[in-house]
Amino acid sequence: MFLTLLKRELMLARRNWVAVLIPLFFFVIVVSLFPFAVSPEAEFLQQIAAGVVWVAALLAVLLSLDLFYRGDFQDGSLEQLLIMASPIQVALSKVTAHWLVTGLPLVLISPLLAGLMHLNYAPNGAVEMNHTPIMMLSLLLGTPTMCLLGAIGMSLSLAASRNGMLVAVMILPLYVPILIFGSSVITASLANSGYNAQIAILAAILLFALVLTPYTTGKALKVAVS
Amino acid sequence: MASFSKTAGRWFHQLGSPKWFYQKSVKWLPWLWISCLALFAFGLYYSLWASPVDYQQGNSVRIMYIHVPTAVLSMVAYLAMAVCAVIGMVWKMKMSFMAMRALAPIGAAFTLICLFTGSLWGIPTWGTWWEWDARMTSELVLLFLYLGFIALHSSFSDRTKADNAAAILAIVGAINIPIIYGSVKWWNTLHQAYSVTKKGAIDPQMQTPLFIMIAAFYVLFIILVIIRLRLEIMNREAKAKWLQQEVGLGQESNAGANG
């Protein structure tokens, strides 16, 4: 059942592939604004790279949520899905599809941003180190949590009258922990110190969210169609 | 034991009735106001005049007597809100959803006062009105959670949906508060060793007025919750006959409807 639902979500996304690419463009554009706004110096960009990439990823995930929930809610298919399968299955299939279509591409395109933000910059004479894999790992562990938490906020606001900003206001405070640990993985790597603890905590938060949030999202989806 | 459970059951049942609460709470309010004013009179005198001046902070230490109680209540209010949300979701009690809605703006106000007095206190003692310290940051996030809750609840046209959706958000937020606090604390210790919230022994001459002020704020909090809850009841039960009689609207509208 889960696979059927997932296939349906992915097929819908494929038929609407331009809309699926928009979050990706958004991610790249937001990050590339910072050199204009702050300073194009490599040393400086390297320092803010972790935070900028992470915040941009958060916003890209938040803004892409609409695609997977709004349409189904408006044309009534969400109601049919909830009759057909358990709310947890519906929630999980939507989150998985959302991550595969938005989260994973964000991770895959992040090396480009690492280059733009001079993440691997080394001053003259210093040994150049490659921090890009660490950044990808932190995003790989962080983006699923973003999708899981965002799903709660999106489903809660489905039946509400105003929602674009509402989801952000509700969910962004809940993103604080992963933002802290996610960007501190990269900062720790830049400072040449250990980052295993942060990686472990990111993974723990992901598992925690994976267990609890599908149930909550399912509940919220049922409230939305009630 | 049997009589206890009977009493508890009746109490639970009565609290679940808006009519019972609306009629009884009028009688509680004067007593609560009297004790609140007495506690504040005594507490303010004790904390602002009778308590000693801190040997390092001078008179600015007196901000503590407002700051600490509001900080305590900002968290108590959120906890109460989450408990109301759970009760409402599980037992479908309408009173608990009303209480949840009534608590949110009060909790947000206390959080705001706590942050404001905290920054006032920070200027003379730390030399800055804001520091990204663990407690301050989590208090700020708490304010955002309150605002998210209020924003969500007020953007539905259907009240049942609003209650259920906001209840889910309150519960999710409650689970997140310890995580947020832990993460912020951890992040902070990574960056700076300087700790502004070191716990030291507090002098009993300062501790007693602090406890009195906490008690005073607790009573004030209860009064505010009752007032807002009564408003919420009036708002939601506006069509109930008992409420129309209570506010003296009953006769004419009844006559009109029946005649």
Which positions in chain A touch B182 (Cβ < 8 Å)? 177
Instruction: Report which of residues B81 and B237 the model is more confident about.
Output: B81
Predicted model pTM:
0.85
Share of chain A above pLDDT 70, in %: 99
Nearest residue of chain A to residue B156 (CA atoms):
A160
CB contact under 8 A, B173 and A162: no
User: Helix, strand, coil: what percent of chain A each, to 5?
Assistant: 85, 0, 15
* pLDDT tens figures, A199-218: 999 999 999 999 999 999 99
Task: Report which of A156, A59, A209, A65 is spatially closest to residue B156, judged by C-alpha positions.
Answer: A156
Spatial contact of B146 and B104, defined as CB atoms under 8 Å apart: yes
| Mean local confidence (pLDDT), A169-185 | 89
Contacts of B241 (CB under 8 A, 6+ apart): B250, B254
Residue B190 has pLDDT above 70, yes or no: no
What number of C-beta contacts closer than 8 Å exist between A and B? Answer: 87
Tokens coding A155:
């489903």
Distance from A220 to chain B by nearest Cα, in Å? 6
| Mean local confidence (pLDDT), A84-99 | 92
CB contact under 8 A, A170 and B179: no
Spatial contact of B61 and B53, defined as CB atoms under 8 Å apart: yes
Which residue among A170, A212, A219 places its CB closest to the CB of B148?
A170
Predicted confidence at residue A217, as pLDDT, reads 93
Residue B73, φ and ψ in degrees, nearest 5: -70, -30
* pLDDT tens figures, B135-168: 788 889 899 999 999 999 998 888 888 999 999 9
| Mean local confidence (pLDDT), B62-83 | 89
Residue B225: pLDDT band (50, 70, 90) is: very high
Predicted confidence at residue B15, as pLDDT, reads 72
Q: Which of A55-69, B118-132, B188-202 has the largest mean confidence?
A: A55-69
Spatial contact of B100 and B170, defined as CB atoms under 8 Å apart: yes
Residue B249, φ and ψ in degrees, nearest 5: -100, -15
Residue A2 has pLDDT above 50, yes or no: yes
Predicted confidence at residue B36, as pLDDT, reads 93
Residue B61: pLDDT band (50, 70, 90) is: confident
Using CA atoms, how far apart are residues A178 and A184, in angstroms rounded to an integer? 10
Instruction: Report which of residues A37 and B128 the model is more confident about.
Output: A37
Sign of CA dihedral A42, A47, A48, A54: positive
* pLDDT tens figures, B12-26: 677 778 888 888 888
Distance from B195 to chain A by nearest Cα, in Å? 19
| Mean residue pLDDT across chain A | 89
Predicted confidence at residue B57, as pLDDT, reads 73
Residue B98: pLDDT band (50, 70, 90) is: very high
Give B54's strand partners: B58
Give chain A's contact residues with B (Cβ, < 8 Å): 152-153, 156-157, 159-163, 166, 169-174, 176-177, 180-181, 184, 188, 201, 205, 212, 216, 219-220, 223-224, 226
The H or E element that residue B87 is part of is helix B64-91
Residue the block writes with tokens 């909830």: A82
Which residue among B165, B180, B182 places its CB closest to the CB of A156?
B165
Instruction: Report which of residues A127 and B101 the model is more confident about.
Output: B101
Predicted confidence at residue A206, as pLDDT, reads 94
- A interface mutation test: which of B150, B172, B186, B188 has the most A CBs within 10 A? B172
Using CA atoms, how far apart are residues B20 and B249, in angstroms rounded to an integer? 19
Contacts of A160 (CB under 8 A, 6+ apart): A166, B152, B155, B156, B165
Residue B197: pLDDT band (50, 70, 90) is: very low
> How does B198-210 read in b/e, with b if 16+ C-beta sit within 10 Å?
eeeeeeeebeebb
Give chain B's contact residues with A (Cβ, < 8 Å): 137, 141, 144-145, 147-149, 151-152, 155-158, 160-161, 164-165, 168-169, 171-173, 175-176, 179-180, 182-184, 186-187, 190
Which residue among B144, B164, B173 places its CB closest to the CB of A223?
B164
Using CA atoms, how far apart are residues B200 and B179, in angstroms rounded to an integer? 25
Residue B113 has pLDDT above 80, yes or no: yes
Nearest residue of chain A to residue B182 (CA atoms):
A177
CB contact under 8 A, B151 and A161: no
Instruction: Report which of residues B249 and A82 the model is more confident about.
Output: A82
Spatial contact of B166 and B142, defined as CB atoms under 8 Å apart: no
Measured from the Cβ of residue A99, the count of other Cβ atoms closer than 10 Å reads 21
| Mean local confidence (pLDDT), A64-83 | 88
For A149-153, B158-162, B221-225, which range has the lowest pLDDT when averaged over its residues?
B158-162
Predicted confidence at residue B188, as pLDDT, reads 59
Residue A3, Cα to own-chain centre: how many angstroms?
22
| Mean local confidence (pLDDT), B100-118 | 93
Domain ranges for chain B: 34-195+203-237
Share of chain B above pLDDT 70, in %: 86
- B204-236 and B64-91 helices, crossing angle to 10°: 40
Residue B128, Cα to own-chain centre: how many angstroms?
28
* pLDDT tens figures, A122-137: 777 677 778 888 999 9
Which positions in chain A touch B158 (Cβ < 8 Å)? 159
Using CA atoms, how far apart are residues A7 and A100, in angstroms rounded to an integer? 12
| Mean local confidence (pLDDT), A86-102 | 93
Tokens coding A104:
């994973």
Which positions in chain A touch B155 (Cβ < 8 Å)? 157, 160-163, 166
Nearest residue of chain B to residue A162 (CA atoms):
B155
Distance from B89 to chain A by nearest Cα, in Å? 10
3-class secondary-structure state, position B58: strand
Give B58's strand partners: B54
CATH fold, domain B34-195+203-237, is: Four Helix Bundle (Hemerythrin (Met), subunit A) (1.20.120)
* pLDDT tens figures, A160-176: 876 678 888 889 989 98
| Mean residue pLDDT across chain B | 82
* pLDDT tens figures, B171-186: 999 987 888 777 777 7
| Mean local confidence (pLDDT), A39-60 | 89
